């Protein structure tokens, strides 16, 4: 298992963002669904080793990220796209991706090809040497995805990756997700249930810091067959699971 969480909790002062979550995930695409403030981003930040848990245990890629040497090794094998990426306006697309490849301690000789491959995977070839300040929001999101996958991560964490992408790019991105999920663990946090239905092999629904549903997209769809509210079968399953958790 690439992700093993046991009774994981994260608090910020009096607020509990993540509440006693236990779950495991292996190879495949794992969707994290939930309303705003459900705790998805805090959970992803803990998985990305940028936010330590307040209590509970966390094992990533078989190691404990609380230990400095293990954390460094995990980070070399990790890809992370934060919700708010932030970028250096004067960098080109290639420079930005290369910078993070260097910070991931990839062997320098491998970096140019890895960067070119990542740029091509997100279809930014024609913009490879364009300054980031001139790119649209959707293009910047794709740059963020490219830096996340540049090291062929065994654990890929994507927070709202499709925000800002147009429908065509979103479809292509789902194909990329399925491809990446063949050999690594991909965790995707999203509001968009159609992303989960199209790309994820497993889904967890979070509400108020807890996981209130865990199963396949098909099982979530089945929950809402008779009672749910929404435009698609998966949305009906989503609303049914949330309503059941809150009742």
Give min distance, CB of 59 to another protein, in A: 17
Q: Does 86 bind another protein (CB under 8 A)?
A: yes
Give which of 180, 145, 149, 193 is closest to 165, Cα–Cα: 145
In this structure, the number of other CB atoms found within 10 A of the CB of residue 92 comes to 18
- When the beta carbons of 97 and 200 are compared against another protein, the nearer one is 97
Single residue of 40, 45, 141, 236 touching another protein by CB under 8 A: 45
For the four alpha carbons of 50, 40, 211 and 174, in that order, the dihedral sign comes to: negative
Binding mask 169-208 for another protein (x = CB under 8 A): x--xx-xx--------------------------------
Q: DSSP alpha helices (H): ranges in the chain?
A: 40-47, 68-76, 93-103, 111-121, 137-149, 167-180, 193-199, 217-223, 233-246
- When the beta carbons of 13 and 231 are compared against another protein, the nearer one is 13
CA end-to-end span of the chain:
33
Give min distance, CB of 155 to another protein, in A: 11
Q: Does 1 bind another protein (CB under 8 A)?
A: no
Are the CB atoms for 165 and 138 separated by under 8 Å?
yes
Give which of 179, 182, 183, 189 is closest to 158, Cα–Cα: 189
- Angle of CA points 104, 106, 107, to nearest 5°: 155
Q: Does 126 bind another protein (CB under 8 A)?
A: no
Binding mask 130-169 for another protein (x = CB under 8 A): ------------x----x---------------------x
Chain residues that interact with another protein, rule: CB under 8 A: 45, 48-52, 66, 68, 71-73, 75-76, 78, 80, 82, 84-89, 94-95, 98-100, 102-105, 108, 112-113, 115-117, 119-123, 125, 128-129, 142, 147, 169, 172-173, 175-176
């Amino acid at each position: 298992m690439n992700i093993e969480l046991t009774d994981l909790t994260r608090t910020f002062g009096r607020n509990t963002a993540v509440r006693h979550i236990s779950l495991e995930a292996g190879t495949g695409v794992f969707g994290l669904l939930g309303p705003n403030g459900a705790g998805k981003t805090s959970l992803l930040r803990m998985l990305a080793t940028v936010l330590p848990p307040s209590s509970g245990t966390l094992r990533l890629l078989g190691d404990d990220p609380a230990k400095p040497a293990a954390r460094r090794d995990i980070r070399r094998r990790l890809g992370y796209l934060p919700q708010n990426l932030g970028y250096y306006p004067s960098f080109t697309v290639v420079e930005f991706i290369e910078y993070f490849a260097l910070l991931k301690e990839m062997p320098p000789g491998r970096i140019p090809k890895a960067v070119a491959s990542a740029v091509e995977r997100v279809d930014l070839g024609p913009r490879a040497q364009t300054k980031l300040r001139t790119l649209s929001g959707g293009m910047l999101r794709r740059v963020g995805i490219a830096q996340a996958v540049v090291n062929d991560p065994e654990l890929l964490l994507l927070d709202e990756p499709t925000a800002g992408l147009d429908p065509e790019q979103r479809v292509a991105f789902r194909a990329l997700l399925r491809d990446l999920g063949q050999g690594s663990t991909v965790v995707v946090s999203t509001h968009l249930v159609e992303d989960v239905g199209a790309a994820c092999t497993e889904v967890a629904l979070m509400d108020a810091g807890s996981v209130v549903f865990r199963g396949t997209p098909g099982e979530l769809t089945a929950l809402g067959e008779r009672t749910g509210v929404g435009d698609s079968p998966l949305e009906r399953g989503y609303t049914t699971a949330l309503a059941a958790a809150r009742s």
